[in-house]
């Protein structure tokens, strides 16, 4: 991409002020405070999950022009960086990667609504160029490997190259093998209709920036997997306590990287590939038909990415299938009449037997007494 266009918001005025991309004209300090959080944060609402996670202890590598440790909004967040192009990794003349790092992890500050998506994350800067238009594929590959070896769980690449270099692809694969997710812009200008790399490699997660109306901010030669705000985004400069507003290719990567940091902090058992799938599966998909209705690109959604239950992931057991209903043999219906008849017959026979036995004893005695009772005999003898 060409130099990132920026604007300083002063009161109701919007004054254009470009961020230089060359070492001789470094970015100016941001002296004006933008009190609003900006449409991007309003749209993504990352603060809704900060009680659950703010990206604490997650390291996000930012590869490009370096990140200024002097930026007040990143105080204490920038790790000791590395530079492959001279200077220091934790310094940034162009201002590009400091802006990206602010979108990812800027700490809250009084007087402004702006903050990073994951304000608890740490930033590992790796500087490979002072000019975003001049990117060496070999240095980019080395930076990705260094980021993975340096413990980065998320690698945000702010630049791109038209070269589908085999070493660059191997570096992205290496990072994935180290459980680091590489996120790269598919909307940076690397030549007419040229696909930018590493976003063009299937191992990377390609991202394109959009406006507040959902339109791409510029033509993307590669197919994005996710989209995120990239137009009139509030951010920070390498120095100064104020904010700037910028538009440009690659900014969307920062929003996705910050969201990935939230997910990795809250779901530490997920692999980089599972984090990628979660980001895509929980995105806000547009109403239009997508190339892949099961996983077309959508706008990254921090709250859904953190809180959604996706049973297919390891560590989240799928719900057990309901057991099929048991089929028991029908219980026979018993007619009580035969049993009752049998009981009556048995009882009658028993009673008849008892009566017969009594008759055999009592009848002879009655005959001997002339059929008079013992009480009658007793009365006569007493009289």
Question: What is the rounded average pLDDT of the residues 317-342?
Answer: 46
Measure Cα distances from 284 to 195, 198, 272 in Å: 25, 24, 21
Q: Which fold has domain 5-307?
A: Rossmann fold (3.40.50)
Question: What is the rounded average pLDDT of the residues 332-350?
Answer: 60
The owner of tokens 């969307």 is: 252
Residue 380 has pLDDT above 60, yes or no: no
Mean pLDDT of the chain: 82
Which segment, 10-19, 250-259, 306-315, 332-341, is predicted with the most confidence on average?
A: 250-259
Separation between Cα atoms, residue 336 and residue 188, nearest integer Å: 88
pLDDT digits (tens, 9 = 90+) for 11-36: 222 223 333 343 458 999 999 999 99
1: which residues sit within 8 A by CB, 6+ positions away? 132, 133, 185, 187, 188, 189, 218, 248, 249, 250
Residue-level pLDDT at 229 = 97
Residue-level pLDDT at 1 = 37
**Domain limits, the chain:** 5-307, 336-382
Residue 350 has pLDDT above 60, yes or no: yes
Residue 317 has pLDDT above 90, yes or no: no
Separation between Cα atoms, residue 16 and residue 11, nearest integer Å: 14
More confident residue, 192 or 312: 192
For 36-40, 165-169, 191-195, which range has the lowest pLDDT when averaged over its residues?
Answer: 191-195
pLDDT digits (tens, 9 = 90+) for 52-70: 999 999 999 999 999 999 9
Q: Residue 78: pLDDT band by 50, 70, 90 thresholds?
A: very high
Separation between Cα atoms, residue 77 and residue 61, nearest integer Å: 12
Separation between Cα atoms, residue 31 and residue 193, nearest integer Å: 38
Residue-level pLDDT at 354 = 59
Residue-level pLDDT at 17 = 35
- Walk across the sheet containing 13-16 and list its strands: 13-16, 5-10, 244-247, 233-235
Report residue 121 as tokens: 């994350």
More confident residue, 337 or 64: 64
Separation between Cα atoms, residue 81 and residue 74, nearest integer Å: 14
């Amino acid at each position: 991409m060409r130099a990132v266009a920026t604007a300083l918001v002063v009161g109701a005025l919007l004054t254009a002020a470009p961020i230089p991309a060359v070492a001789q004209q470094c970015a100016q300090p941001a002296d004006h405070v933008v009190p609003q959080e900006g449409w991007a944060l309003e749209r993504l609402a990352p603060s809704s999950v900060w009680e659950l996670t703010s990206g604490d202890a997650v390291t996000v590598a930012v590869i490009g022009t370096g990140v200024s440790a002097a930026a007040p909004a990143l105080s204490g967040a920038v790790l000791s960086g590395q530079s492959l192009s001279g200077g220091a990794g934790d310094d940034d003349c162009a201002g590009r990667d400091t802006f990206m790092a602010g979108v990812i992890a800027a700490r809250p500050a009084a007087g402004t609504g702006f903050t990073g998506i994951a304000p608890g994350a740490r930033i590992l800067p790796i500087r490979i160029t002072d000019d975003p238009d001049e990117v060496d594929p070999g240095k980019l590959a080395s930076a990705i490997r260094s980021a993975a070896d340096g413990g980065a769980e998320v690698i945000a690449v702010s630049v791109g190259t038209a070269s589908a270099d085999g070493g660059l692809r191997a570096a992205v694969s290496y990072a994935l093998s180290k459980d680091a997710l590489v996120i790269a812009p598919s909307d940076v200008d690397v030549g007419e209709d040229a696909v930018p790399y590493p976003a063009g490699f299937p191992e990377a997660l390609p991202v394109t920036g959009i406006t507040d109306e959902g339109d791409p901010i510029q033509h993307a030669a590669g197919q994005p997997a996710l989209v995120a705000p990239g137009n009139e985004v509030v951010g920070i400069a390498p120095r100064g306590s104020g904010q700037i507003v910028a538009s440009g290719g690659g900014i969307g990567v920062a929003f996705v990287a910050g969201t990935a940091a939230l997910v990795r902090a809250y779901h530490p058992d997920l692999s980089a590939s599972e984090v990628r799938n979660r980001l895509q599966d929980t995105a806000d998909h547009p109403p239009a038909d997508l190339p892949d209705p099961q996983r077309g690109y959508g706008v990254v959604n921090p709250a859904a990415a953190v809180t959604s239950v996706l049973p297919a992931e390891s560590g989240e057991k799928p719900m057990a299938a309901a057991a099929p209903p048991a089929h028991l043999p029908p219980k026979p219906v018993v007619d009580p009449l035969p049993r009752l008849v049998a009981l009556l017959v048995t009882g009658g026979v028993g009673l008849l037997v008892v009566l017969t036995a009594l008759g055999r004893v009592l009848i002879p005695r009655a005959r001997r007494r002339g059929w008079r009772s013992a009480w009658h005999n007793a009365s006569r003898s007493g009289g």
